[in-house]
Amino acid sequence: MSYQVLARKWRPRAFGELVGQEHVVTALSNALTRGRLHHAYLLTGTRGVGKTTLARILAKSLNCERGVSATPCGECSACRDIDGGRFVDLLELDAASNTGVENMREILDNARYAPTSGRYKVYLIDEVHMLSKGAFNSMLKTLEEPPEHVKFVLATTDPQKIPVTVLSRCLQFNLTPLPRALIAERLAQILRAENIVFDEAALPLLAAGARGSLRDALSLLDQTIAYGGGEVREAGVRSMLGVVDRGYLHRIVDALIASDGSALLAEADALAAAGYAFAAALDELASLFHRVAVVQAVPGAPGGDDAERIADYASRMSPESVQLAYQIVVQGRTDLAIAPDEATGFSMTLLRLLAFEPMTEGEPAPPSRGEAASTTRASATPVRAAPAPPVSSVDRHVTTIRAASSTTVAAATPAGADTPKLVLPEAAADWPAFVSKLRLNGMAAQIAAQSELKSVRGNALSLAIPATHKHLADKAYADKLKVALEAATGRKLLLAFEIGENNDGSPAAIARREREEARTASEAAFRNEPFVRDLVARFDATVRVETIEPAVREAPLPSSTRQETR
């Protein structure tokens, strides 16, 4: 017995067998039952959603020897001839290969004559948007007043290209891509009917691969059966479709959350070694981020068999980061085609995921990835934990692109009564470290950051303020610092200010110097990175130095201090 491909064997032969497209089926069935059929239909929709199938069922409904109805018998010679594709009064025409006026005239001339064996002549013109302007024009007259015995079914994947004059003479139905669940269900039915052994888990994969087209799903199913030696196994489908094992994706997201660049790149290598296509990996990654976003928006939304992990990611990534990650991955998928090679394009996308984080306005910055990882270890820390020291060459020049004004961090807690008391520094060099321990905010932070310690004698502190910031020595501000210092040390203090020329020893000046050094180092490292060198050489690109921010920062200073030093 010869093997008949499933797509042909299981092509629906009655309206009741059609999967999906209920709105069209209902409209056509009602029209047939009431004998109020329009003379021209336009079916739109992507390939494989059932346009031709619908047209054939309609032709049977009109020509069945047992009468016009929505339930043709399927047994009479007219029904069988239509199913077999040999019914003379069903004229199937592919507009893609018959675009000219001459063709159309010939066909329409023929329409005047009565049907040969059936009740109606049914013209099925597929890909009708491909017709030339002349062909469309010659069609208009017939479309407007067709002979009683003629019905037109026009089908197209691109209704935008059809002239309005034609559109207005047709009843239009839009056929939608089939939902995955519906496709999977249909595949299961067919497999059971065919007595083919299958894994349930394989069907959603096939349904996803078919992208809304049942015909494609059935072709894939045929391939899978051939591939699996008569069985449909999940592993077989995964490797046939190149669906990436979820373990890789999970490890990629884990590395991302941990800001672990070397683990991220190692995973890219592992993917390549396992023979997966990078495009498929990016598709899967985008779909993973989509699921995370769904869970964030609708907690408790079904998340599939790795729902727990998805929920975990949803709690550890900010919604903005997830949106950005999705965007980067989808863009990376497009860029893959123009990347020097797919592996480069893929690892570049992973690096982008690592490098960029969303901007937030006004609000305290969401915990960035590195911090999220470290705060799980030391969650009691009230201020942002400093990112872990670099562990790999990639981490070293991770750049954080962020507007200068967006680093306003939540006000740090001032030292309170139950905080252990601090000891006043004795040397000027200890002043910056002491200030950072104070966790100051507002004006007190500004003045402390610009001050250099001159001397401590008993309860008397002498501080120097640069001339450029002498307004800070105003008593109102100075008192704020005094109150904070007294609270932190538990001592009554006397503060005196002198105005100096420059303050190399102030926390702000030190932070500025360190920032400059770190920036120079990151810039050099960034410029030396092979893909950056490649970019610069290839596109004559310039590195926008101002966007490079060192991943390794000085110990956290009070937020306002940071702003001041920019």
Q: Which residues bind Zn ion (CB under 5 A)?
A: 64, 72-73, 76, 79
CB of 78 to Zn ion, least distance (A): 6
Please, which residue, 64 or 256, has the CB nearer to Zn ion? 64
When computed from its CA atoms, the radius of gyration of the chain, rounded to whole angstroms, is 36
CB of 335 to Zn ion, least distance (A): 55
Residue 560 Cα distances to 299, 403, 410, 564, angstroms: 36, 15, 10, 6
Residues near 304 by Cβ (< 8 Å), separated by ≥ 6? 291, 310
Q: Which of 288, 74, 43 is nearest to 151 (CA)?
A: 43
* Residue 44 bridge partners (DSSP): 156, 174
Tokens of 294: 């769904």
Helix spans in 77-213 (H): 77-83, 101-111, 133-144, 164-167, 180-193, 202-210
Please, which residue, 73 or 391, has the CB nearer to Zn ion? 73
CB of 252 to Zn ion, least distance (A): 57
Please, which residue, 73 or 493, has the CB nearer to Zn ion? 73
Please, which residue, 69 or 408, has the CB nearer to Zn ion? 69
Please, which residue, 33 or 468, has the CB nearer to Zn ion? 33
Distance, in Å, from the CA atom of 487 to the CA atom of 516, rounded to the nearest integer, reads 33
Please, which residue, 84 or 275, has the CB nearer to Zn ion? 84
Could you count the other beta carbons within 10 Å of the beta carbon of residue 519?
15
Q: Residue 275 region, left (φ>0) first, then alpha (ψ -120 to 50), else beta?
A: left
CB of 61 to Zn ion, least distance (A): 9
Question: Is residue 287 a contact partner of residue 205, using CB atoms and an 8 Å limit?
Answer: no
Tokens of 176: 């939608």
CB of 218 to Zn ion, least distance (A): 25
Which amino acid makes up residue 480?
K
Q: Which of 60, 2, 62 is nearest to 36 (CA)?
A: 62
CB of 150 to Zn ion, least distance (A): 20
CB of 37 to Zn ion, least distance (A): 17
**Coil/strand/helix, residue 463:** strand
CB of 68 to Zn ion, least distance (A): 10
Please, which residue, 82 or 183, has the CB nearer to Zn ion? 82
**Coil/strand/helix, residue 498:** strand
The backbone torsions φ and ψ at residue 340, rounded to the nearest 5 degrees and listed phi first, read -50, -45
CB of 189 to Zn ion, least distance (A): 24
CA dihedral 222, 224, 227, 230 (to 10 degrees): -70
Please, which residue, 54 or 64, has the CB nearer to Zn ion? 64
CB of 298 to Zn ion, least distance (A): 49
What is the spatial order of strands in the sheet that 90-94 belongs to?
A: 90-94, 121-126, 150-156, 40-44, 171-174
Helix/strand/coil (H/E/C) assignment for every residue in 61-106: HHHCCCCCCCCCCCCCHHHHHHHCCCCCCEEEEECCCCCCHHHHHH
Please, which residue, 71 or 392, has the CB nearer to Zn ion? 71
Please, which residue, 72 or 432, has the CB nearer to Zn ion? 72
